[in-house]
Homo-oligomer: A and B are copies of this chain.
């Protein structure tokens, strides 16, 4: 498990962020993180192999959309909402609203028994 790279706020690239947010599964992941709560890997369920999920989370991280924190063998992920809003005001909000209206989620959902108050027990 190598040290993950997180671009600084001023390094965020608009095309890269747009590309990261153009996949239904990744939109679903962002929606799952939209409430601002930190989520453990295990809470995020998606209909793909774990290596594929790891790939998508890496794309989001590399684009600066999410931040990953490591704790032992576990990883926790949060949406970098504030950084994104600073560089691209309104973009994430508009995306989340549109994705909610159309129910775009790529098959992603939170694991049973997880809610924003029970995260990271």
Q: Interface of A with B (CB < 8 Å)?
A: 14-16, 18-19, 21-24, 27, 87-91, 93-95, 97-99, 102, 104
CA distance A45 to B80 in the complex (A): 36
Please judge, given known A-B contacts A22-B22, A90-B90, whether A98 and B27 are in contact too, CB under 8 Å.
no
Contact of A98 among B14, B16, B22, B23 (CB under 8 A): B14
Question: Would you call A89 and B94 a contact (CB within 8 A)?
Answer: yes
Please judge, given known A-B contacts A27-B14, A102-B14, whether A91 and B87 are in contact too, CB under 8 Å.
no
Please judge, given known A-B contacts A15-B23, A18-B18, A104-B15, whether A94 and B91 are in contact too, CB under 8 Å.
yes
Contact of A15 among B22, B89, B94 (CB under 8 A): B22
